[in-house]
Amino acid sequence: QVHLVESGGGSVQSGGSLRLSCEASGLTVSRSCMGWLRQPPGKGREGVASIDSVGSTVYADSVKGRFTISRDDAKNTLYLQLDNLKPEDTAMYYCASDCMSSLRLHRRGYRSWGQGTQVTVSS
């Protein structure tokens, strides 16, 4: 059974940085297609970034150049580095696994989910 636990969220000012972590069990991160998605207040869940088993990454246009997805194979952990944060980045951020290659930035493309970690950016 896949178990994903996110951490690292918090409250920061515009322009600040955070690093989100997702500890995984029940799967091998380096062999899985995984991603980060977020759900802003009052909106639907949207894809942010994804990394597949060969290390290929994709990003939503809104975060390109500011967010970086990575993984630590030894720790079986997925990361999302968030830099130059903006108020519109405020959302609950979710780690997800077992994605479909054609839906890596869509919520329907993922099978397993973590509980989420809150990111709040103030202006």
At 90-106, the pLDDT tens digits run: 999 999 999 988 899 99
**Residues ≥6 apart with Cβ < 8 Å to 24:** 2, 3, 4, 32, 34, 76, 77, 78, 95, 97
Q: Which two tokens stand for residue 21?
A: 């972590």
Q: What does the pLDDT read at residue 22?
A: 98
Q: What does the pLDDT read at residue 40?
A: 97
Share of the chain above pLDDT 70, in %: 100
